[in-house]
Amino acid sequence: MQQESKYNSKAKRAARINNIKIYELLNKRNKLNCNEKYVTLSSRQDNSKNSEINQIVEIEFLKKPQYVGIDNDKDLIRENNKNHPEATWIADDWCCALQHIDFSGGLVYFDSTYFSNKSFAVSSLRTTLEFADYPETLVVGNFMLTNPYVGNGNNVFNPNVLIDSLFNDNPAKWRNWNQNFEYVPNYEYKTTKTLMRSYIFYNGVLTDDLVEEINSLTDNLAEEIN
Ligand SMILES: C[S@@+](CC[C@H](N)C(=O)[O-])C[C@H]1O[C@@H](n2cnc3c(N)ncnc32)[C@H](O)[C@@H]1O
């Protein structure tokens, strides 16, 4: 029998919906344009209604061919391809896979299993932002703010380290996307073992009103999950 994904929790589902609501607010439309894609680190995508792909197809944010799932676990990708052959599946490292996607905007969910305080998280996020440098694109980078394998797992990394390194290390090298992406308020949520933070970037104009609306969305998310 097929195994369920460990990422189909209530918190995870609410976080996905939150990302889509942010996209809708920013772009004033409730679905991807037909030339846009949703690119994500996929893990297992089963046939249940709670899988990421089925959840977002169900709410009509996109059609399956607009979904691009990347994972370095070849077995998972093979299984996903059997479950959802209409979507695109890439078995590769995230940053390498991005080079092979025909992308011209949409939503990129870098839903990582990386610790937010590590330089690897920063460099991978930079690569993601460079790849996604198209107008109206939303990039959500999701990172672990605690390490469940150290001590009691409750020690929270300084959440600003990732953003400070991103914008301050050698800014000239990254000036292309620095000019185009705005850093939007971020949000946190807790899974059973780990505190996660989603850092949000928008390739477009952010008004104060929009920022306020996004803040209230993320406040609601916290209430919904906790
Ligand atoms: C948090 S899960 C994705 C969950 C999925 N977005 C969802 O909502 O159901 C992250 C996945 O990324 C994969 N992964 C971690 N590092 C990766 C890398 N550098 N390249 C490709 N896949 C990676 C892991 O195997 C894991 O399955």
pLDDT single digits (tens) 9-25 = 899 999 999 999 999 99
Backbone conformation region of residue 66, classed left if phi is above 0, alpha if psi is from -120 to 50, else beta: alpha
Mean pLDDT, rounded, of the chain: 91
Give the model's confidence band at 78: pLDDT under 50 very low, under 70 low, under 90 confident, else very high.
very high
Residues 97 and 78: their CA atoms lie apart, in Å, by 16
Nearest to 16 by CA among 6, 7, 25: 7
Atom of ligand 1 nearest to the CA of 7: 9
Query: pLDDT exceeding 70 applies to what percent of the chain?
Result: 93
Q: What is the mean pLDDT of residues 192-196?
A: 89
For residue 142, what pLDDT is reported? Answer: 97
How far does the centroid of ligand 1 lie from the alpha carbon of residue 113, in Å?
6
Q: How far apart are CA 191 and CA 225, in angstroms?
A: 9
The pTM is what? 0.95
The atom of ligand 1 lying closest to the CA of 8 is 9
Contacts of 39 (CB under 8 A, 6+ apart): 68, 70, 98, 101, 103, 106, 107, 108, 109, 132
Q: Is the CB of 41 under 6 A from ligand 1?
A: yes
- Integer Rg of the chain from CA: 17
Q: What is the mean pLDDT of residues 90-119?
A: 96
C-alpha 28: how far from its chain's center?
19
3-state secondary structure of 139: strand
Which atom of ligand 1 is the closest one to the Cα of 71?
A: 22
Q: Is the CB of 94 under 6 A from ligand 1?
A: yes
Coil, strand or helix at 36:
coil
Ranges 17-21, 22-26, 61-65, 208-212: which has the least confidence:
208-212
Q: How confident is the model at residue 219 (pLDDT cuts 50, 70, 90)?
A: confident
Whole-number Å distance, alpha carbon 107 to ligand 1 midpoint, is 16
Residue 44 pLDDT level (bands cut at 50, 70, 90): very high
pLDDT for 8 equals 87
Identify the weakest region by mean pLDDT among 13-27, 124-138, 150-164: 150-164
Show me where the domains of the chain are located: 10-225
pLDDT single digits (tens) 163-189: 888 887 666 666 555 668 888 888 898
Kindly tell me if the per-residue pLDDT of 70 is higher than 80: yes
Question: Beta-carbon neighbour count of residue 115 at 10 Å?
Answer: 17
Per-residue pLDDT at 1 exceeds 60: no
CATH number of 10-225: 3.40.50.150
Residue 134: pLDDT over 90: yes
Task: Please identify which residue in the block is written with the tokens 């790849």.
Answer: 131
Ligand 1 centre to CA of 109 (Å) is: 10
Beta bridge partners of 69: 40, 89
Structure confidence at residue 168 (pLDDT): 77
DSSP-assigned beta bridge partners for residue 142: 111, 198
For residue 46 and ligand 1, the question of a CB distance below 6 A is answered with no
For the segment 68-74, the average pLDDT, to the nearest whole number, is: 98
Tokens in use for 151? Answer: 């001590």
What's the farthest any 2 CA atoms get from each other in the chain?
52
